[in-house]
Structure formats: C-alpha cells, structure tokens
Amino acid sequence: MLAAATALALVGCSADSKSLSGSNSLAPLITGTPPPTTTTTTVPVATSTTIAGVTAIPTTLVPPTTVFNTTLITMSPPRISPPSTAAATTAPPDTGAPDTATPDTAPADTAAPDTASPDTTPPATDPPSSCNSCDSNYRFPYANFFSVPQLGSEPVRGSGCGANGTVGNTIPDGVWDGHISVGGSSLQIDLECVYYGDSAAPYIAQCAADNGGDCFDADPDFFIVNNNTRKRSVPLDPSFRRRYATSDGCSDPGPGQGGPAEGSDSMTSWIVIEGGQATFALTSCVYG
C-alpha cells in the first residue's frame, strides 16, 4: 500500500521531472516490514535546487497533500514484526526510604514495690484466753458431780486415772478425780478411778466377794477404786477457785456460793487442769 501511495504522489510532478521508476531512491521506501497497526505517516517537505535551468530531482519525495491510512493485510505466511526496542516505561518499584521511626522502647513500669512495713500494732483487746475455767463466772460444765462422762481412753469417768500406767509425774490437761489438798502455790492430788457400767461390774463383784456381800449399796454408774495412794503435785493458777457441791444435788452452786461442810475437805473432788496448772476444783457432797 505504501508503494501505491508513492505512485499516486508522482502523478502530480511536472513534465520536466525525470522518472523515478528506475531509481534506487525508492528502495528504502518499499523495504522493511510495515507496522502491525494502522499508522499515519508524515514525510517532511524537501525543497528542490535549480542548476543552469534544470530542476534537480529532489532528494526526498514530496508527500501527498492528503494523508492516506494504510491497513496491513496479513499475507500467508504472516510477516514477523521486529521486536520492539522501545524503552520500558514501567514505573520503578517504590524505593521510598524505609520507615526508620524509632520503636517505642519506653521501659516497663519499674516503680519500686510497696515496701511499707506491715502493721504490727497489737489488737486493742487481749486475745481470748484458752483457759475456760479461769473466767470468774465459770461453772462446772456438767449437770452434777456424778454426770462427768468418759473423756479419755481409759474406761473411767473424766480424763483417766493412770490405772494402765499412762499417767506420769505430770498430769496432763483435763478433768481428773481424786483426793486433793491445797497449800502454797501447788495442789496435791491422789488420783482415783471412777468406773461405770460394764467397767464397774467386775470391781463390784470383787467388793462383794471380799466383804461377804456387803456391796449391795454400790452405784454401778459411779464406783470409785483407789488402789494406789500416790500423790502428784500440780501448780496452782493465780485464779484457782475451789467450790463445794450442794448437798441436795451434788452440783456446782455457782460463783461466790457454797462452803465447806464438816469433813468435806477429805471427800473426793473433780479438778480442772489447763495449761499445766490447776484452775478449778469441785469437792463432792457428803456422800460422794
């Protein structure tokens, strides 16, 4: 199509112009591979030079005044377009400066721990005493002298009596039965065993055998046996109190009440030991 356009352009030349059909000046115009797309070509206009009345052939062709669109018709085999050498216009990757902001490196809260000394102020009131019987309003905790239950491992009323050899020189805390005498800062006690029920039965039978049957008035629920007259010393608590059971019920008459009857100091007593000291004693009624 380019060759055809060129031929049309030559029709407009003057008669004095020489033919260009045999000139090699057209060779560059008809060689090469046309671009694959529709293009518009503009050829710069060249001026001719006249020498001695002869118009010289212009070195470049005068383009037609009309621009022709050329369309490439693909022939078989298709022509291969040369690779495009146009410089790539792809934008370069983002090369912005890296984020150099200093990370937050503030140290963790290192405030010193609270080292205030704990409150060591003693309580406003003294702690309650572990000595129950030291209270001035203390009363014997059982209904009467004969109702003290078994409190230890031995089958006797109260905390024991040492018949099995378990009580040494020092009597442990508890409630113990025996004959007592008080003097100075100590209490002397001769422990007795108060058997009851089944534990009392063999002793009552032995009593009857030893005394010709004269044990019929024995109380099987409160039978005292004292086979050893050993006395042990117990320190007296400063608040030690001794009361005497009433004769009409053998019970504790209460604080500030009761007094020794004739011969009552020789009768049996329950003593309370707390903190290794004798704190209270209830001496029995006349028939105890």
**For 114-166, what is each residue's pLDDT tens digit?**
565 655 554 544 444 578 898 989 999 999 999 999 999 999 999 999 998 88
Q: Are residues 155 and 26 in the same domain?
A: no
Report the domain count for the chain: 2
Q: Where are the beta strands (DSSP E) in 66-199?
A: 174-183, 186-191, 193-195
Query: Percent of the chain, pLDDT > 70?
Result: 54
Q: Is 121 part of a structural domain of the chain?
A: no
Q: Are residues 18 and 153 in the same domain?
A: no
Strands 186-191 and 193-195, how do they pair? unpaired
Q: Are residues 189 and 269 in the same domain?
A: yes
Q: Are residues 138 and 269 in the same domain?
A: yes
Q: Are residues 172 and 262 in the same domain?
A: yes
Q: Is 49 part of a structural domain of the chain?
A: yes
Q: Is 102 part of a structural domain of the chain?
A: no
- ω into 64 cis (within 30 of 0): no
Q: Is the dihedral of CA 209, 210, 214, 218 positive or negative?
A: negative
Q: Is 249 part of a structural domain of the chain?
A: yes
Q: Is 66 part of a structural domain of the chain?
A: yes
Query: Percent of the chain, pLDDT > 90?
Result: 40
Tell me the three state secondary structure of residue 61: coil
In this prediction the pTM is 0.56
Q: If you count them, how many residues does the chain have? A: 288
Among residues 47, 64, 79, the one where a domain terminates is 79
So what's the pLDDT on residue 265?
85
For 45, residues 6+ apart whose C-beta sits below 8 A from its C-beta are 62, 63
Across the range 245-266, mean pLDDT stands at: 88
* Boundaries of domain holding 1: 1-79
| Residue 20 CB coordination number (10 Å) | 16
Q: Are residues 62 and 155 in the same domain?
A: no
Express each pLDDT in 226-246 by its tens digit: 988 899 999 999 999 999 999
Among residues 79, 98, 124, the one where a domain terminates is 79
Q: Are residues 170 and 44 in the same domain?
A: no
User: What's the CA angle centered on 239, arms 236 and 242, to 5 degrees?
Assistant: 75
